[in-house]
Amino acid sequence: MKKILVLHTGGTIAMSKNDQGAVTPTDQNPLMAFDQLSTADYTVTAQSVFNLPSSHITPDHMLTLSQTIQQALTTDVAGIVITHGTDTLEETAYFLDLVLDTPVPVVLTGAMRSSNEVGSDGLHNLQAAIATAAADAAIGQGVLVALNDEIHAARYVTKTHTTNVATFQTPLTGPLGILVAGQPQFFQQLLTTTACPISKLVPNVYLLKAYAGMDATLFNAINLPTTHGLVIEAPGAGNLPPETVPAIQALLAQHIPVVLVSRCINGVAAPIYGDIGGGRQLAELGVIFCQGLNGQKARVKLQVAVSAGLQAAALQTFMQNANS
């Protein structure tokens, strides 16, 4: 009989709507009261790690969660499920994907409707995530996200809708699998990656979104001795307004790694254009193109990489390949 461990961290899945109609955290996570999650194939135990809206989750919480998981992995646990707020779920999921080195399935889930709302999706998603974590087919698939009867890779999944239960999508590759009548079925497999374990976090890795007419102001503002990295979400395949270029050069001169992703929801950034601020010029200056990740995930990856001590060519190799 497989043992599945559920770690609760908060989010709408653990919240309730109050008399004023506001969705709020409760002292007692309503999911902890539900004790019929075990089946003939697996037993489920649950533990509350945090009870936070996911907008309150920090990289330090992610590190703590990864250490809780590592501790659990020293036991005979066969799968781990994490309940999490959906707003930053993709960041925690990808952080865990980067730092954990285990074939044991780790599956994140959440809900878009709180526990006492009509059509609440929390319990359904929790059951789906548990079934996924218990599936042999999930072993060695990296960290997964199971919501709305779809199974996504942590690496590429993103929240695409503010309120719809079908919010989690993988624009680049589609879901890895689906749940049919509660049973997970996989249709594709991601390329495997090498884990990048860390025991501490370097702070001040920033994310800026570029826009038409952007100037150097924001780039200059973060050119500080305390800055450890910058990710830029750039338009298109990775091109920036010319006015930003001197400020980016100044950051690179301070040995602050500058990573670029596309702000497009789909596709990869690539150094194609040769104009001032064009991708080719940025790459020649030393900007690292990170393919396939969105801005928030590239920021997580850069923070993990710098925290692991990667520098120069090693950092570039790790960052520029989404499959590393």
Ligand X SMILES: NC(=O)C[C@H](N)C(=O)O
In Å, what is the CA distance from 183 to each residue of 1, 103, 108, 178? 17, 20, 16, 8
Provide the minimum distance between the beta carbon of 224 and ligand X in the complex, in angstroms, as a whole number.
Answer: 30
Helix 59-72 × helix 89-99 angle, to 10°? 50
Residue 303 in contact with ligand X, rule: CB under 6 A: no
Task: Please check whether residue 191 is in contact with residue 323, taking contact to mean a CB–CB distance below 8 angstroms.
Answer: yes
The span of 27-35, 47-55, 59-67, 230-238 binding ligand X (CB under 6 A) equals 47-55
Binding-site member from 4, 9, 11, 79 for ligand X (CB under 6 A): 11
- Kindly name the residue from 9, 68, 83, 86 that is annotated as catalytic: 86
Does residue 54 belong to the site contacting ligand X (CB under 6 A)?
yes
- Quick check: is 217 catalytic? no
Q: Please say if 86 is a catalytic residue.
A: yes
Q: Is 110 in the site for ligand X (CB under 6 A)?
A: yes
Nearer to ligand X, 111 or 232 (CB): 111
Q: Summarize the annotated binding site for substrate as residue ranges.
A: 54, 86-87
**Widest pairwise Cα distance in the chain:** 63
| Catalytic-role residue among 9, 12, 83, 170 | 12
Stretch that binds ligand X, among 67-75, 81-89, 175-183, 219-227 (CB under 6 A): 81-89
- Give me the least distance between CB of 151 and ligand X, in Å please: 18
Contacts of 222 (CB under 8 A, 6+ apart): 206, 208, 230, 251
Rounded to whole angstroms, what are the CA distances from 151 to 45, 59, 137, 170, 187? 22, 24, 12, 10, 10
User: Which residues, 6+ apart, have CB-to-CB distance to 114 below 8 Å?
Assistant: 12, 13, 15, 16, 17, 23, 120, 122
**Residue with the shortest CB distance to ligand X:** 85
Q: For ligand X, which is the closer residue by CB, 85 or 295? A: 85
Angle between helices 295-307 and 312-320 (to 10 degrees): 150
Alpha-carbon span 94 to 143, nearest angstrom: 7
Give the nearer residue to ligand X in terms of CB position, either 89 or 251: 89
Question: By the 8 A CB rule, do 226 and 204 touch?
Answer: yes
Query: Using the rule CB under 6 A, which residue among 5, 37, 62, 85 binds ligand X?
Result: 85
By the rule CB under 6 A, 148 interacts with ligand X: no
CB of 78 to ligand X, least distance (A): 26
Structure tokens that stand for 151 in this block:
């199974």
**Residue 122 contacts ligand X per CB under 6 A:** no
Annotated active-site positions, please? 12, 86
